[in-house]
Amino acid sequence: MNLKEIIFGRRLRSEEEESEQLGTLSGIPVLGLDALASAAYGPEAALTVLIALGTLSSGYIVPITVIIIALLIAVAMSYRQTIPAYPGGGGSFTVAKENLGPISGLFAASALCIDYILNVAVAISAGVAALVSAIPVLLPYTLTLCLIILALLTIVNLRGIRTAGLLFIFPTYLFVACLGIVVIIGVVKTLMAHGHPIPVCSPPKMPISVTTVSIWLLFRAFASGCTALTGVEAVSNAVPIFRQPTTILAKRTLTIIIMLLAMLLAGVAFLSHSYGISATSPGQAGYQSILSQIVSAVSGRGVFYYVSIASILMVLALSSNTSFTDFPRVCRLLALDEYLPAEFAHRGRRLVFTQGICLLTVLSGVLLIVYGGITDRLIPLFAVGAFTAFTLSQLGMVLHWHRSEEPNAKWSMATNAIGAVATAVTLVILAVSKFKEGAWISILVIPPLVMLLSRIRHYHQEIYSETIEVVPLDMEELVPPVIVVPMKQLNSITRKGLRLAMTLSPEVHVVQVVAEEMNTDDLMHQWSKLVAEPARQAGKPVPELNVIRSPYREFFGPLLRYVRKLAIHHPDRQLAVVIPELVEVQWYNFFLRHRATLLKTMLRLQGNPQIVIITTAWYRKEMHLKGKLDQVNQELKLTAEAANKNKEK
Amino acid sequence: MNLKEIIFGRRLRSEEEESEQLGTLSGIPVLGLDALASAAYGPEAALTVLIALGTLSSGYIVPITVIIIALLIAVAMSYRQTIPAYPGGGGSFTVAKENLGPISGLFAASALCIDYILNVAVAISAGVAALVSAIPVLLPYTLTLCLIILALLTIVNLRGIRTAGLLFIFPTYLFVACLGIVVIIGVVKTLMAHGHPIPVCSPPKMPISVTTVSIWLLFRAFASGCTALTGVEAVSNAVPIFRQPTTILAKRTLTIIIMLLAMLLAGVAFLSHSYGISATSPGQAGYQSILSQIVSAVSGRGVFYYVSIASILMVLALSSNTSFTDFPRVCRLLALDEYLPAEFAHRGRRLVFTQGICLLTVLSGVLLIVYGGITDRLIPLFAVGAFTAFTLSQLGMVLHWHRSEEPNAKWSMATNAIGAVATAVTLVILAVSKFKEGAWISILVIPPLVMLLSRIRHYHQEIYSETIEVVPLDMEELVPPVIVVPMKQLNSITRKGLRLAMTLSPEVHVVQVVAEEMNTDDLMHQWSKLVAEPARQAGKPVPELNVIRSPYREFFGPLLRYVRKLAIHHPDRQLAVVIPELVEVQWYNFFLRHRATLLKTMLRLQGNPQIVIITTAWYRKEMHLKGKLDQVNQELKLTAEAANKNKEK
């Protein structure tokens, strides 16, 4: 127990929820890591598509980034409106479900869940990839490192939101500070040099353009850059983790995250342009990330460079933490609506949704293992889920305001409508431009997931409607069951079962199946002396012994037939089969005794609702305990006798 | 059920044992295949060691074979004496155990069991190797072919001894006939050509000797040739499978098998010598087995050649069948002495020892899979086990005759003593000459197996001595248990459990653990109306409701604590926990409901002998059945009413 507390922290009482809630300062690392880390890979993704343009590419990054930032602000504005409208946590699932119907809600939830799972795998492997490219000796341990980070993130998140918040404050703000300083110095230098600053370290030379610009290429670059928007949904989904005044803190947190992200994106694009920085081909010699080029161009390769790069790596690897906060909350909402088992809505020992966290760990762990820790091929699937959820959520909000009677409803509707159109257009661009690269897989995965979730709900509701009964408990026919005790020998183990049976019902049938005559003593000989006679003398009903000879040497067949016959004979009685078990927690026990388990399974597979299974356990230490007791009694007796003798003297 | 009968045959009654017993004709294939197949690989193994001698090698095969045949006859003579001495099946285990003590018996049994398992793997893969070298397209399917043959052998043996006997008559006698004809023709040709017959097809030319003869080399050749003796033990081990007069038929069968084997061995050695045939390196280009060389030298490569080769392949592949007959019998003897679970002594549906056959299949299957169907490296281990068993068995027989008062005991003792010395010497030669090649593994494997078997017996006997009780059943304190019913909601499933509990004991505690207030209805509100009041009105004891609030949101902890508290409160009562289960045989059920299983496990792990577990099953179809019943009742009522109305009219 103590080890558990060291790893996961002491248990928290339900009333301690408040102490786990966050303010803005710790809310930003917990919910903003994913979004902020986008600054590290969003522009890079867009520029990588533009590599073919060579030196020209840095000219196009500014307009593309402007569009992405506009989209970001539109989406953020709409989510800012979602927060007060759904203070219980208005993720795409809730908003789409309430305004567009349950199926839309499920589509949003499925898309988002897949996105979160992919995010964990991709973010961790991206961080590890950067790490092993810096320290190549670690290359053979890529998968191991991925799984270690996954395990650490899981433990941190199982320790509760507050721990995660406190732990991630440092890397998050270090990252923002470093990149912010670079952007500020870079912008100042650019302005002082009239738009043509001289890099401290020159970026790698780019070849001249090999293709001309096409709309298609720009679309693809835009679609790739849009990965910068994933994670924006997080705050509105997790509103209840903020302390009072909840919605105000949530809105403030979202605004700060988006402002920071927009400034970083803008800064990166501006500096790429002014320093003429382009992407290098990943996986080829001379590869250097955009941020590495920018930092070294602006500030050279000193201590500051290495601190910045380290903070970027950390944020990349940890950015999946946002999924750990949000995924379990989506699962909780699904569970509350019975789309998942109720356990997903139960808060664990540290008031987080343990089941959801574990499910996320398992699923993303499987992805990491299947792809050997290198998840590049999963990236195209990544943004499709997020933008599907965005679009459904915005559409839902449009309908929400349409029905609303609030004074500003029209303005709000307009904001959400713009967001909906923008994200829908982006989704189409994303789906089309990345279809071949893997976006088609989403189409294969999302609908079956939606079907599975509906199926689970259907199942839960069927069970509910089949089992609900609000009438008073039926007190008719409260007759004890007919009891069957299968018995091979009359030893301590079976005696315990027989004695229990005799306390439960006056009708006890003991069944001995004699399969191989040579091995089994017929109980018939001893029955009268050992059981029937004592029972009669004690005035108890005598258990009935039935010896069944099994001509084909089977044990289960004759026994099950006997039970079935009894069931037909007593159609309105319960039949309780008492199975006396020898329980011993030792490994070889597993190999030596399966009869009881087999019998239980076979009885259940009979499908007869009359059958009740009773297992009595005989523990090996029982004998020793009994022995000890006898010994103590013996000693007491001797002492008493000795005392008496002394007295006599 | 029908499919099972088609594959395994109809069940046999215990009285039908006699119809399954064998005579000499079918006994030879069942028990002699292993020994007779030795003629195909024994001389080959010896000659392979002599390859280094080049053309000289065929000169040494005759003296080596003479010694091997002498050894064979010595061993066979001793086993002939074992048969009437132990008509219940006198394998090495029985003989060693009865005369040398249980540990020697276990050593013999372990050695023999390992030998049998190896034999199955090696014989099957040898047969398949010969087949794929004849039809090279099959090469990639080596392992698959091995496993198919293993499966077929398993099925044939599960169908009973008689089936195996009838099925193997044809290949066995074909093999003996073909090889016999070759030997006779060859001998006649040799005599007619005054010792220098002209081969129809010349054997491959041998290089000149590269080494000189050494005693060491001859010892190694002899040790390799001794693999021809494995399988000789089979008959004496399986005496009871013969029909009346059992021992006479068994002795006759053994004699015929040994005579046939001796003649074939002698013939092969003689023809190798007269035709100047030597072994070729296995696995190298131009490899040709000794028998293939002999047959083509004597009779050319006509139809007869291919029939002979086919019969050799069949016998090689099927020779493992002897293990399938004998291994389960050794297991049965071990089980009768409690060294293995009793199931190994139970005859299955076709009166063979199903468990032993299945164990052999699994173990040899694992060997085949681990070695990919190529088991050459296992061959050195092979004969060590057999000769260990032989030696212990012979030694045991020496002591047996020493104590015996039969008239011929001295002669018998002398025979067995010669056998013992011969096999012991051979064992030493084998162990030394094959130590490096893998015989050392036997030393690692046999002692732990002996320890495991003793440990199992010790365990069985401990349990027996702890549980044996022959006094009359204690009728004191036959008080019904205190019953605990964990309940989340009062629905059909839990109602069934509660009603059962009320029939079993007047003291019923219903425990509701409220973990997350938001999700669970407190049963307190409804209890009085739905349960307490109706019970009171019906004059039944009222079940006690306990609502436990779980501040840490755990379910199991508070429930287990409640049960523990009750147990301390009622130290002399049983506590029955009624677990109402929803049973549905559907795959996703497995993922959605584990609570009941977890609770059962946790209750058992409490290790408290007072705890009894009662599971009531609620089947989903129950509702439908109830619905149907209600419908039928409704219809009956309507019909009755209609009838009444008609009457009134």
Q: Are residues B454 and B420 in the same domain?
A: yes
For chains A and B, count residue pairs whose Cβ atoms are closer than 8 Å.
224
Stretch A138-155: mean pLDDT: 90
pLDDT of residue B101: 92
Confidence band of B232 (pLDDT split at 50, 70, 90): confident
Do the chains contact at A504 and B505, CB–CB below 8 Å? yes
Q: Choose one of B395, B428, B461: the last residue of a domain.
A: B461
Residue environment code for A548-560, b if the CB has 16+ CB neighbours within 10 A, otherwise e: eebebbbbebbbb
Q: Are residues A163 and A107 in the same domain?
A: yes
Q: Which residues of A touch B13 (CB under 8 A)?
A: 551-552
Lowest mean pLDDT across A6-10, A69-73, A471-475, B263-267: A6-10
Q: Which domain holds residue B75?
A: 23-461
Do the chains contact at B619 and A605, CB–CB below 8 Å? no
pLDDT of residue A630: 58
Residue of B nearest to A460 (CA): B592
Do the Cβ atoms of A597 and A632 come closer than 8 Å?
Answer: no
Stretch A361-385: mean pLDDT: 83
The DSSP string of A345-401 is GS--TTSS-HHHHHHHHHHHHHHHHHTTT--GGGHHHHHHHHHHHHHHHHHHHHHHH
Do the chains contact at A537 and B11, CB–CB below 8 Å? no
Do the chains contact at A473 and B495, CB–CB below 8 Å? yes
Q: Are residues B488 and B343 in the same domain?
A: no
Do the chains contact at B473 and A479, CB–CB below 8 Å? no
pLDDT of residue A109: 93
pLDDT reading at B374 higher than 80: no
Q: Which residue has the tokens 């970026």?
A: A203
Nearest to B620 among A466, A493, A517 (CB): A466
Looking up residue B260, the CATH number of its domain turns out to be 1.20.1740.10
Do the Cβ atoms of B20 and B11 come closer than 8 Å?
Answer: no
**The dihedral sign for the CA sequence B587, B588, B591, B593:** negative
Nearest to A535 among B459, B475, B505 (CB): B475
Confidence band of A343 (pLDDT split at 50, 70, 90): confident
Q: Which residues of A touch B14 (CB under 8 A)?
A: 516-517, 551-553
Q: Are residues A532 and A384 in the same domain?
A: no
For chain B, count helices (H), then strands (E).
Answer: 25, 5
Question: Is the residue at B514 inside a domain?
Answer: no
pLDDT of residue A268: 93
pLDDT of residue B267: 94
Phi-psi region of B22 (alpha: psi -120 to 50; beta: other; left: phi over 0): beta
Q: Are residues B499 and B382 in the same domain?
A: no
Stretch B239-259: mean pLDDT: 92
Measure the CA–CA gap between A35 and A261, rounded to whole angstroms: 7
pLDDT of residue B648: 61
pLDDT reading at B457 higher than 70: yes
Do the chains contact at A612 and B582, CB–CB below 8 Å? no
Closest CA to B596 of B570, B578, B610: B578
**Which residues lie below 8 Å from residue A437, measured CB to CB, with a gap of 6+?**
A380
- Between A506 and B227, name the one with better pLDDT: A506
pLDDT of residue A107: 93
Stretch B578-601: mean pLDDT: 72
pLDDT of residue B256: 95
Closest CA to A250 of A262, A260, A241: A241
Nearest to B473 among A531, A576, A591 (CB): A531
- Between B587 and A355, name the one with better pLDDT: A355
Question: Is the residue at A467 inside a domain?
Answer: no
* B636 CA: distance to closest CA in chain A (Å): 20
- Find the distance separating the first CA and the last CA of chain B, reported in whole Å: 57
**The dihedral sign for the CA sequence A136, A137, A142, A146:** negative
Measure the CA–CA gap between B485 and B510, rounded to whole angstroms: 5
Question: Is the residue at B540 inside a domain?
Answer: no
Do the chains contact at B456 and A588, CB–CB below 8 Å? yes
Residue of A nearest to B339 (CA): A592
Encode pLDDT of B598-647 as tens digits: 888 888 877 788 889 998 888 876 555 555 555 555 666 666 677 677 66
Long-range contacts of A333-338 (CB under 8 A, 24+ apart): A333/A89, A333/A91, A333/A93, A333/A94, A333/A109, A334/A93, A334/A109, A334/A453, A337/A97, A337/A102, A337/A457, A338/A456, A338/A457, A338/A460, A338/A461
Structural domain count, chain B: 2
Do the chains contact at A467 and B492, CB–CB below 8 Å? yes
Stretch B45-63: mean pLDDT: 84
Residue of A nearest to B591 (CA): A341
pLDDT reading at B546 higher than 80: yes
Question: Is the residue at B380 inside a domain?
Answer: yes
Do the chains contact at B495 and A480, CB–CB below 8 Å? no
Q: Are residues B108 and B168 in the same domain?
A: yes
Do the chains contact at A469 and B478, CB–CB below 8 Å? no
Question: Is the residue at A39 inside a domain?
Answer: yes
Q: Are residues A348 and A487 in the same domain?
A: no
With a pLDDT cut of 90, the percent of chain B lying above it is: 30
Q: Are residues B145 and B234 in the same domain?
A: yes
Complex prediction ipTM:
0.80
pLDDT reading at B587 higher than 60: no
Question: Is the residue at B523 inside a domain?
Answer: no
Stretch B281-293: mean pLDDT: 78
Question: Is the residue at B402 inside a domain?
Answer: yes
Nearest to B530 among A472, A495, A576 (CB): A472
Q: Are residues B260 and B408 in the same domain?
A: yes
With a pLDDT cut of 90, the percent of chain A lying above it is: 30
Nearest to A519 among B12, B345, B616 (CB): B345
Interface test with B, best of A552, A583, A584, A600 (most B CBs within 10 A): A552
Question: Is the residue at B310 inside a domain?
Answer: yes
Q: Are residues A440 and A507 in the same domain?
A: no
Q: Which residues of A touch B552 (CB under 8 A)?
A: 11-14, 349
Nearest to A492 among B469, B493, B605 (CB): B469
Structure tokens at A327: 């995924």
Q: Which residue has the tokens 């979004």?
A: A35
Q: Are residues A416 and A367 in the same domain?
A: yes
Measure the CA–CA gap between B404 and A39, rounded to whole angstroms: 96
Confidence band of A77 (pLDDT split at 50, 70, 90): confident
Q: Are residues B391 and B491 in the same domain?
A: no
Confidence band of A588 (pLDDT split at 50, 70, 90): low
pLDDT of residue A173: 92
pLDDT reading at A649 higher than 60: no
Looking up residue A633, the CATH number of its domain turns out to be 3.40.50
Q: Choose one of A411, A432, A461: the last residue of a domain.
A: A461
Q: Which residues of A touch B455 (CB under 8 A)?
A: 588
pLDDT reading at A79 higher than 60: yes
Q: Choose one of B394, B429, B461: the last residue of a domain.
A: B461
Measure the CA–CA gap between A31 and A27, rounded to whole angstroms: 6
Stretch A25-54: mean pLDDT: 86
Encode pLDDT of B104-127 as tens digits: 999 999 998 998 998 899 888 888
